């Protein structure tokens, strides 16, 4: 009965994930997987011998916290939220592993090895996610933290973890096993060390990777208790997280190792060729005249749009342009923002229909025929040096070719280089105009001018 329910739950998870892959069925897919979760939980609870007090207290308290956070979070705060949920899954798997190390039992290696792995991966996921959360919510500086001997320290921690693992498996059992407790602390330390050298713009990769880890931790917990539903769903999540990580790395033309260990944009990496020329500023009035005459406009949003909370104003401008007989779309780079799909969520919140959200490969071929490309708080993903300058650290990264549009208007706070510290020759192009100032205020003044007529 129970194993039958677990099989059905696993099938629901698989169908749910499949349906999450298409916009029309995604919501239904999420619901299916939630039903699977409920089924697996109920099937587990029909057994006897539970300490109901502890279970109910845990579910009520945890469920209330999770539910409250999910209802209250702003869409701009979504990357932090996902990081925190990842972290809570990680620590849960660590605790499951720890509590399973029951005193007085002799654990076979088939149990003690996954138990150790659940603790290790769960711990890394937990502190890694917490550091990612702190960086994303700007409670700590988002810049990469690098120091001398960092790699050596990492290797020492890893070696110590390996040693703890061997000693734990040999002397298994007991929640007070000193090697297990040491491993918990070391995995916490390793999670922190793994995420501090990674900068804000590389966060999409980290979030996707931590997502994968939280699945693998659950999978390891499944091996401890020999429970197939945990193993199946944990490895599904682990695999999907790895795929997503790969997509993010490919969108930046970098290897995973490079993202994790290089501290991109830190002082050691070159800033590419110095760019000569002068940026040409433009007023909101002149921008309005250009837009009014345009028959096709492509918006390219970036993290700056999220910071300025400009998505609603941008949507309004897009709608007014459409009324004006202009063709409007939003070109979204896979790594724009701080998590995979960040811009899509923000624009969806502002009611932009998803047909208008397009990928770089779909807009680049038509860019030369586009009248105006408006870049809102994006920088590195539109840097033409990625195409032309072999000495640039961005060289080879697929970008959105806004410099090829007839006119390119860049909304930017100042002329400083972007996150990666790389000069952007786009600002000095013949057909580029800079609309300096807060992105939201600039877009709102454009909207106001359209409404006046």
> Which amino acids are annotated catalytic?
380
How far apart are CB 402 and other proteins at their closest, in Å? 18
Nearer to other proteins (CB atom), residue 105 or residue 295: 105
How far apart are CB 9 and other proteins at their closest, in Å? 8
Nearer to other proteins (CB atom), residue 183 or residue 332: 332
Nearer to other proteins (CB atom), residue 211 or residue 407: 211
Helix axis angle, 203-224 to 228-251, nearest 10°: 160
Nearer to other proteins (CB atom), residue 245 or residue 432: 245
Q: What distance in Å separates the CA atoms of residue 224 and residue 100, rounded to the nearest whole number?
A: 8
For residue 275 the two structure tokens come to: 């760019």
- Beta carbons within 8 Å of 284's beta carbon, 6+ residues apart: 435, 442, 445, 446, 449
For residue 410 the two structure tokens come to: 């860049």
CA nearest neighbour of 281 among 405, 166, 126, 442: 442
For residue 233 the two structure tokens come to: 């769903």
CA nearest neighbour of 179 among 193, 192, 153, 161: 161
Count Cβ atoms below 10 Å from residue 326 Cβ, excluding itself.
18
Nearer to other proteins (CB atom), residue 208 or residue 321: 208
Q: What distance in Å separates the CA atoms of residue 169 and residue 189, rounded to the nearest whole number?
A: 21
Q: How many residues does the chain have?
A: 453
CA nearest neighbour of 180 among 191, 193, 192, 169: 169
Question: Distances in Å between the alpha carbon of 354 and those of 30, 89, 158, 346?
Answer: 18, 30, 44, 11
Q: What distance in Å separates the CA atoms of residue 231 and residue 236, rounded to the nearest whole number?
A: 9
Nearer to other proteins (CB atom), residue 97 or residue 384: 97
């Amino acid at each position: 009965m129970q194993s039958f329910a677990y099989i059905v739950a696993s099938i629901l998870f698989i169908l749910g994930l499949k349906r999450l892959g298409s916009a029309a069925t995604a919501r239904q897919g999420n619901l299916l997987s939630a039903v699977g979760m409920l089924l697996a939980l109920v099937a587990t609870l029909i057994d006897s011998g539970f300490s109901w007090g502890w279970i109910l207290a845990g579910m009520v308290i945890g469920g209330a916290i999770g539910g409250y956070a999910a209802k209250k979070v702003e869409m701009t705060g979504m990357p932090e939220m996902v990081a925190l949920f990842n972290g809570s899954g990680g620590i849960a798997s660590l605790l499951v592993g720890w509590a399973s190390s029951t005193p007085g039992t002799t654990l076979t290696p088939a149990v003690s090895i996954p138990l150790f792995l659940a603790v290790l991966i769960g711990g890394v996921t937990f502190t890694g996610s917490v550091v990612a959360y702190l960086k994303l919510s700007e409670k700590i500086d988002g810049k990469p933290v690098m120091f001398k001997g960092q790699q050596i320290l990492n290797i020492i921690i890893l070696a110590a973890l390996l040693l703890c693992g061997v000693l734990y498996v040999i002397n298994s059992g007991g929640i007070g096993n000193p090697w297990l407790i040491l491993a918990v602390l070391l995995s916490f330390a390793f999670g922190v060390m793994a995420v501090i050298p990674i900068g804000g713009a590389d966060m999409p990769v980290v979030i996707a990777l931590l997502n994968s880890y939280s699945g693998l931790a659950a999978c390891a917990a499944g091996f401890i208790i020999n429970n197939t539903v945990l193993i199946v769903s944990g490895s599904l999540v682990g695999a999907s997280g790895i795929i997503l990580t790969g997509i993010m790395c490919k969108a930046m033309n970098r290897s995973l190792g490079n993202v994790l260990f290089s501290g991109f944009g830190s002082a050691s990496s070159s800033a590419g060729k110095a760019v000569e020329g002068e940026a040409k500023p433009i007023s909101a009035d002149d921008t309005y005249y250009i837009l009014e005459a345009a028959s096709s406009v492509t918006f390219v949003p970036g993290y700056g749009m999220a910071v300025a909370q400009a998505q609603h104003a941008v949507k309004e401008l897009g709608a007014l342009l459409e009324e004006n007989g202009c063709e409007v779309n939003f070109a979204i780079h896979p790594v724009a923002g701080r998590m995979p799909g960040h811009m899509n969520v923000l624009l969806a919140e502002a009611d932009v229909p998803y047909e208008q959200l397009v990928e770089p490969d779909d807009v680049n071929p038509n860019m030369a025929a586009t009248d105006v490309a408006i870049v809102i708080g994006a920088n590195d993903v539109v840097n033409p040096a990625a195409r032309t300058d072999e000495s640039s650290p961005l060289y080879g990264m697929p970008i959105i070719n806004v410099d090829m549009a007839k006119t390119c208007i860049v909304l930017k706070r100042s002329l400083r280089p972007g996150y990666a510290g790389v000069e952007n020759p786009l600002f000095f192009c013949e057909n580029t105009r800079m609309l300096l100032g807060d992105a939201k205020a600039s877009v709102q003044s454009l909207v106001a001018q359209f409404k006046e007529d």
